[in-house]
Structure 1
Amino acid sequence: MSFIRTLRGDIRPEDLGFTYSHEHIVCRPAYWVEKEADDLLLDDKEKSKLDVADFKQHGGKSIVDATAVDYGRDVQAVKEISEELDIHIVGTAGFNKSFLWDAGISERLKPMIGDYRTYSEWIDATSINSLTDFVIREVEDGLEGTPYKAGQVKFGTGYNRITPLEEKTLRAVARAHLETKAPLHSHTEAGTMGLEQIELLQSEGIDLSHMSFGHMDRNPDPYYHEQIASTGAYLSFDGVAKIKYAPESTRIHCILELVKKGYEDQILVSGDTARKSYYKHYDYGLGLEYIIAKWVPRFIDDANRQGFDGRALINKFFVENPARCFTFNK
């Protein structure tokens, strides 16, 4: 039995349609709240909804919301956006990365995990098996006590290092994947430590064809990308529009290098749009419409000029590949 799990229930893979594979829609990360970093707080459901509506207006069907428990997700608000706009949204169980974990834990979470002050304290004090059980419950019962179930499980590591607590959450999430068959996703800080994550995942017996690695375009190294792709994993180029990290020509070059090597079935594309200043309806940014309305035509033209079938590749990156990547196979 194959299905994709959304906040509104399970759907057939062929019903997913044009998909952004890594976004954030409504979230108030405790770490950034405590730092008073307002730009990193997507805290207005109605403004977020307007950007999602723009995406839908241009033909978008589905969004994977990669907001984990330690990044201040608002499950109810995102579910309401999904319902009100009739768009599929995939939720995320698991964890992000260690530098976020010194933030205070919300009161709503404490009944489910105990009276810990910070995420670091909770993760440090809890066994891998108990963390695994927490992730499994979020996939099979619902996120943070809601009835809305996660459609992928996630872990993350920091820049050029994996801390002991990050390894602990990686192993817990890997084991939750083995139990639930939920697709796996990782945060790689600036695109680093993907190969080291792979070593740990392989020690847990993970089939990497169920795995997607985030932020690959933050490390625009075609040799490195090929090493990851050769394992069968998906590579997420999810920094589109963030020219401060690299021009689109660099991102497109890396994608097409993978296509030349035969890995076009393992590429995902998205924007990781996680700041008010990236959103159109918060702070006049390019918004969720940018990729589907502006980047896609540019990619098609660029790829066609280089001898590729740009439109066919777009269909792979946004329709066919997500439909496979985010599928539970039970």
Structure 2
Amino acid sequence: MYIQTVLGKIQPEQLGICACHEHLHVDLSRIKQNSDTCLQDTDLVAEDLKSFVAYGGRAIVEVTNDGMGRDVGKLAELSRRLDLHIIASTGCYKDPFIPEDKQRWSRDQFAGWMIGEIENGIGGTGIKPGVIGEIGSSLNEFKPIEVELFHGAITAARHTGLPLSTHTTLGTCALEQVELFVRESLPLDQVIIGHQDLNPQDEVVLEVLQTGAFVAMDTIGKINYRSDESRLDSLMNYLEHGYEDRILLSTDLTRKSHLRAFGGQGYDVVLRTFIPALRDRGISDTVVEKLLALNPQRAFSIRNKEA
């Protein structure tokens, strides 16, 4: 097993403390019509990331894909500047963010394109993605193009062994995503179900965890959706049920206003405030190490290819 970063392959144990779902060079303004959602100033991002590194952060899973302003060359630049492991993504997001040229693609077209990027690199850069993501469903439903996208991503994951990281809009459709993966025989330990800290139904998240999939609590610090105190309550519940080996943490920073310089939570929020609050509730260093380092090592290790 190995992990594919923008600068090449590393051994899983080299990954270190890892944010499982971030954006370092992203532009959602084409759809959102809001310049705040264009976060592409490498110097600003690098400055904010310095605090993440100072708190012990060593790796970022960067889930910006085609249609979201992906630029893997900039990711490689950030990786070198900050001595950070950065994992890039292949795939598309969800309707309506899928690029114009792919909006009528079939699952086979999506699969072929993703496999091509995984095997040959992205856009002539030679930089290979280490994750398929973030692959998204809409609020309480799969749009037709999202069904094709998910099937294409599953085929690519089975063929290449890459982990598959999802987007669930406001936490919805998590079980439906899992059911699709089960039907299509994708091993659930190869799957990260995203945004489950936006799912207020702990019993649903526990059902997802029971399947063997990884669950990402990856919008920490976004208190406009939910307080971090409430997120901590849910996390404690999952830990009490014995799922310390299946949970990943991150903040999903996507806007300029999310940077510390503009009053936002910053890339360091998990390490700066959330983990200390978790420790205050009696969670041991052993469990913290799983959440921050050991679980990402397993989740983002590339499996053997299918025969």
TM-score category (smaller protein): over 0.9
Cα distance, 1:263–1:34 mapped onto 2, change above 3 Å = closer
Offset at 1:149? 0.7
> What CA RMSD, in Å, does the superposition of the two structures yield over aligned residues?
1.3
The superposition leaves residues 48-102 of structure 1 with CA deviations (integer Å, 9 ceiling, x where unpaired) of 111122211221100000111121112111110001111100011111111223x
Whether 1:4 and 2:3 are equivalent positions in the alignment is: yes
Moved more, 141-150 or 211-220: 141-150
Match of 1:216 in 2: 196
What fraction of aligned residue pairs are identical, expressed as a percent?
A: 31
Shift of 1:34: 5.8
Residue 190 to residue 34, structure 1, CA distance change in 2 (3 Å): closer
Q: In structure 1, what residue type is equivalent to 2:41?
A: D
Q: Which residue of 2 aligns with 1:179?
A: 159
Indicate if the aligned counterparts of 2:31 and 2:96 stay in contact, CA closer than 8 A. no
Q: What pairs with 1:110-189 in structure 2 (closer than 5 Å)?
A: 118-119=100-101, 122-124=102-104, 126-154=105-133, 155-189=135-169
Which has a greater percent of helix?
A: 1
SS in 1 for 2:150: helix
Query: Structure 1 residue 140: deviation in Å?
Result: 1.7
Are 2:223 and 1:272 aligned?
Answer: no
Within the candidate set 197, 215, 219, 2:177 is matched to: 197
Tell me the equivalent position of 2:12. Answer: 13
**Is contact 2:222–2:265 with CA below 8 Å preserved after alignment?**
no
Give the Cα–Cα distance (whole angstroms) in 2 for the partners of residues 82 and 249 of structure 1.
Answer: 32
Within the candidate set 248, 253, 260, 2:233 is matched to 253
For structure 1, the 5+ residue unaligned runs are 106-117
Question: In the TM superposition, what whole-angstrom CA distance separates every residue of 1:148-179 from its partner, at most 9, and x where no partner exists?
Answer: 11011121100001011100000000000001
The size of the alignment, in residue pairs, is 303
Specify every segment of 5 or more residues in structure 2 that has no aligned partner in the other structure, as ranges: none
Distance 1:27 1:65 in 2: 10
Moved more, 293-302 or 172-181: 293-302
Native 8 Å contact 1:123 1:131 kept in 2: no
Q: Secondary structure at the match of 2:127?
A: coil
Structure 1 228/92 Cα, relative in aligned 2: closer, same or farther at 3 Å? Answer: same
Q: What is the CA-CA distance between 1:286 and the residue it aligns to?
A: 2.5
Aligned to 1:113: none
CA displacement, residues 118-139 of structure 1 (integer Å, 9 cap, x when unaligned): 15xx231x33222101101221
| Match of residue 296 from structure 1 | 275
The amino acid across from 2:296 in the alignment is P
**CA pair 137-33 structure 1, distance change in 2 beyond 3 A:** same
State the TM-score, normalizing by the size of structure 1: 0.89
**Equivalence for 1:99:** 96
Aligned counterparts of 2:87 and 2:93: Cα–Cα separation in 1: 16
Residue in 2 that maps onto 1:41: 38
Question: In structure 1, what is the equivalent of residue 67 of structure 2?
Answer: 70
Work out whether residues 213 and 235 of structure 1, in 8 Å CA contact, stay in contact via their aligned partners in 2.
Answer: yes
CA distance in 2, matches of 1:267, 1:198: 15
Q: Evaluate the alpha carbon distance shift between residue 266 and residue 35 of structure 1 in structure 2; reply closer, same or farther with a 3 A threshold.
A: closer
Show the counterpart of 1:234: 214
TM-score (norm 2): 0.95
Q: What is the Cα deviation at residue 145 of structure 1?
A: 2.7
Contact 2:192 2:216 in 1 (8 A): yes
